[in-house]
A and B are shown apart, each in its own frame.
Chain A
C-alpha cells in the first residue's frame, strides 16, 4: 500500500530523471514549480495521510502548551506530575473531540433526538467545503497542464462582481436567474484567468508572477466597485452590495437552521465534469500531455499555448463557481471580504488532493471539516481557531517536504527526488 502510486495517467509519461534535462538551470522559477508539481502529482497516498497525522500531532502539542489548565498544572509539576499529564490529555482530547464532533456529528444532540442540531456539523462542513473544492479545481486543472495558478483569489474577486451584478441587478424568474448569475461569474472568472493563459502563451510571462499581480488588481478593483453608486447598497456608505434577489440564490437543501444549499451538489457535479474532461476528452488529453512534457507535446504538433489558455479558462470558470457558493449561497451579498482566504486555501486543497479532481474533493472536505470543526472547537473549549490555520499550514509543509514525513515514519523513500528540489531552493 505504502509504495503504490495513485492511478494517474501522467505518471506513466513523467520520469523524474528527465526533469532537469528539460529545464536548464537558468529557468529557475520554471524548474522549481515543475519539480514541485511533479512531486505532488506522483505523491504517495500514504505520505499525504501521514502529513495530516503529523500535523495533528504537532497541533496537539500546541493545544497542550497553550491550554491554561496545563500551564497551571505544570507550575507544580514536580510536586504532582500526574496533574500535568491529565491536564494535557484533557485539553487535547476535548479540543480534538470538539473539532471532530463539530465537523461531523453532534453526538449529544443526536442522543437527545434533535436531528437538525445533530446534523448541523456535517451541514456546515459541506457548506464550507463547497467553495474550497471548486477553488481547488481552479488550481488543480492548470496544475495538470504544468501551470501554477496562484490567482484563484483574484479570479474569485473578479467573478464576484459579475455574479453579484446579475444577482441583484436583474429580475429574472427563479432558477433562470440563478443560472444566469452563475454563468456570469464563470465568464468573469474565466476572463480574468484567461489573461494569465494568454500572457503565458504569447509572451512567456510566468504565470506565478502574473496571477499574483492580477490578484492585487482584482481585489482593489472589487474594493473600488463596492464604492460606486451602481454597485453599493442604497443608503449605505460602507463597501457592501445590495442583497441578491431571492431568485438568484441557491435554495437550502433541508432548511431548519442548516445552511447546506444546492451549491454543494453543483460542486460535486463540477468535480465529475472536470474528471470527465481531464480523462475522457481530447482537451483533457492535451492538458495532461502538455503538463507531462510540453516540449514533447509541441513536437507532437500540439499548440501548447492554446492548451495553457484553455486550462486557465477552465480554472477561472471554476473560481467563478467557487465564489458563487458565497455570493449566491451563504452570504447573498458582495463585500470586500467575500473571497476570504479561499483562493489561497485552494492551493492547499489542490496540493493535498494531488491535482486530481477526486483528490480535490477529498481534500476540500478535509479542510472544510477542519474549518467548520474549528469554529465549534473554539465555541465549546475556547481553543483558538488559529490552531486550524496552523494545522493547514503544517499539512502543506509536510507535503512539500515528503522526505521529512518519510523519515519520521521510517518509510522507504525516493530521496533522490527530494534532493533536486532542495538544491533548487537552496541555490
Chain B
C-alpha cells in the first residue's frame, strides 16, 4: 500500500514535471531580445532622459500598498485598490511596491517594510489596518499615508482617509432592482454587519422604497431590517461561497428574483445559484462583475462599483503634484468615487423608460434633491 502511494506520488510529480517541461519547450522557441536588453544580470544604466525628468524639483515618488488579510487577488476591494496603484504607475511613471498581508499580524511589519523600502506614500487597504496606519503616520512624518475604507476624526497631516458613499450608488441599484423584479421581492445580504457593508444594504433598501413611493408598488426587500442593521442577513464572513449559495437559495424560495450580495467572494455562490434558476439575477458589488467574475456575466443585472481605484490614484497623484493633504476623500456619485456599472448583457432587457428614470435618480442624488443615509 505504502509503495503504491509512493509510486502514485512519483508518477504525479513526474507528470507535473512533464507538463512544465512541455510548456517550457513550447515557449522556448522565441528569439532573444535585442542585444541592448539581453544581458539580464547587468543593471540598467541611467539614460539621459531619466535625469531630465519633467519635475526636477520634487524627489521621485515611490507608491507602496499593503493589502489586508484578503490579499490582492480577492476579486474585491484589495484587488481594485491594486488596480488603482497600477493605474497610477502607468500614468505618473512612478515606482510601486505591493505588499500582501497573510494575516492581521502582518500589518505592522509590512508597514515597517514599506518604510524601510523608502516609500514616499503608503496606502493601506481596509479599516483593520486603521490603528497601525495612524501609529506609523505619527512615527514617520516624512512619509504620506492613505487608507482605503477608513475615516479618522483628527488625522495627522500626512494621513488621508478614503471613504465611499456607496449608499448613493446602492440606492440607484435598489431603484433599478425594484423596477426590474417580476416577483415583487428582492434580497440583499452582507458579509458581516460593519458600516462599509451595511451602507450598501441600507442604500439599496432606500432605493427600493423610493421606487415603491413613486410608483405605488409594494416591492419587498429581504435580508434588511431598516430599524436594526444587525438583524439583516449576513454570511458571517467574506469567504465561504457555499453560504452565498445557501442564502440565495433561501431568498429564491421566499420569492426574490434579484439578489444583491455585499460579501465579496461569497457572492459568487449566489451568482452560481442564480445561473441555476431561470429568471434570477444578481447585482454584483465593488467591481463590475462582468469583468471581475465574467463567468457569471449573464446573471449580472449591473454592479454597484466602489471607485477605490480612482481614489487611490487621486491620492498618489496628489503626492506626485505635491498637493497631498489629510482632508478626507469621500467618493460620491458626483465625483465618480462610486457608481453603478453598465447593464452589460441586460442592456436589452432593461426598458428605456427605466434607464431614463435611473439616470434621473442619479442626477437627483448628485444635486441633493434625494438624500440617502448610510
Q: Are B195 and A372 in contact (CB under 8 A)?
A: no
Which chain B residue lies CB-closest to A117? Answer: B116
B97 at the interface (CB under 8 A from A): yes
**Contacts A237-B194, A338-B104, A422-B2: A79 and B30 contacting too (C-beta < 8 A)?**
yes
Whole-angstrom CA separation of A239 from B28 in the bound complex = 52
Q: Are B117 and A78 in contact (CB under 8 A)?
A: no
A248 at the interface (CB under 8 A from B): no
**Contacts A239-B194, A341-B103, A418-B2: A74 and B109 contacting too (C-beta < 8 A)?**
no
A95 at the interface (CB under 8 A from B): no
Which chain B residue lies CB-closest to A80? Answer: B32
CB-CB under 8 A from A331, the residues of chain B are 104-105, 108
A21 at the interface (CB under 8 A from B): no
Q: Choose, from A169-177, A189-197, A204-212, A374-382, the stretch at the interface.
A: A374-382
Within 8 A of A (CB), among B106-140: 106, 108-110, 112-114, 116-117, 127-128, 131
**Contacts A227-B193, A330-B105: A220 and B27 contacting too (C-beta < 8 A)?**
no
- The interface on chain B, measured as residues whose beta carbon lies within 8 A of the other chain's beta carbons, has a size of 44
Per-residue CB proximity of A336-349 to B under 8 Å, as 1/0?
11101110000000
B102 CB contact (under 8 Å) in A237, A385, A407: A385
B20 at the interface (CB under 8 A from A): yes
Which chain B residue lies CB-closest to A417? Answer: B2
**Contacts A257-B112, A404-B9, A415-B2: A79 and B24 contacting too (C-beta < 8 A)?**
no
Per-residue CB proximity of A65-81 to B under 8 Å, as 1/0?
10001011111111110
Closest chain A CB from B363 CB (angstroms):
30
Q: Are A69 and B40 in contact (CB under 8 A)?
A: yes
B321 at the interface (CB under 8 A from A): no
B131 CB contact (under 8 Å) in A333, A372, A375, A423: A333
**Contacts A403-B2, A423-B1: A120 and B127 contacting too (C-beta < 8 A)?**
no
CB-CB under 8 A from B239, the residues of chain A are none
Closest chain B CB from A259 CB (angstroms):
7
B33 at the interface (CB under 8 A from A): yes
Whole-angstrom CA separation of A422 from B24 in the bound complex = 35
Per-residue CB proximity of B185-211 to A under 8 Å, as 1/0?
000000011110000000000000000
A223 CB contact (under 8 Å) in B40, B103, B131, B192: B192
Q: Are A379 and B2 in contact (CB under 8 A)?
A: no
Q: Are A120 and B102 in contact (CB under 8 A)?
A: no
A335 at the interface (CB under 8 A from B): yes
- The interface on chain A, measured as residues whose beta carbon lies within 8 A of the other chain's beta carbons, has a size of 65
**Contacts A375-B113, A403-B2: A74 and B24 contacting too (C-beta < 8 A)?**
yes
Closest chain A CB from B335 CB (angstroms):
24
Closest chain A CB from B248 CB (angstroms):
22
Q: Are B117 and A73 in contact (CB under 8 A)?
A: no
CB-CB under 8 A from A330, the residues of chain B are 105, 108
Q: Are A403 and B113 in contact (CB under 8 A)?
A: no
A180 at the interface (CB under 8 A from B): no
A279 at the interface (CB under 8 A from B): no
Closest chain A CB from B163 CB (angstroms):
13
B172 at the interface (CB under 8 A from A): no
Q: Are B40 and A73 in contact (CB under 8 A)?
A: yes
Q: Are A238 and B127 in contact (CB under 8 A)?
A: yes
**Contacts A117-B116, A337-B69, A403-B6: A422 and B236 contacting too (C-beta < 8 A)?**
no
**Contacts A74-B28, A75-B27, A87-B40: A238 and B5 contacting too (C-beta < 8 A)?**
no
CB-CB under 8 A from B40, the residues of chain A are 69, 72-73, 83, 86-87, 90
Q: Are B195 and A238 in contact (CB under 8 A)?
A: yes
Q: Are A124 and B195 in contact (CB under 8 A)?
A: no
**Contacts A83-B32, A239-B192: A375 and B110 contacting too (C-beta < 8 A)?**
yes
Please name 15 further chain A to chain B contacts, defined as beta carbons within 8 Å, in addition to the given A388-B102, A407-B6, sorted by A numbering.
A75-B27, A76-B31, A83-B32, A128-B109, A237-B194, A238-B127, A238-B128, A238-B195, A239-B194, A333-B131, A341-B103, A379-B114, A379-B116, A386-B100, A403-B2
The 6 closest A-B pairs by CB, nearest first: A340-B103, A77-B28, A337-B104, A379-B113, A75-B30, A422-B2
Q: Which residues from chain A sit less than 8 Å from chain B, CB to CB? A: 65, 69, 71-80, 83, 86-87, 90, 117, 120, 124, 128, 220, 223, 227, 235, 237-240, 243, 257, 259, 326, 330-331, 333, 335-338, 340-342, 371-372, 374-376, 378-380, 382, 384-386, 388-389, 403-404, 407, 415, 418-419, 422-423, 426
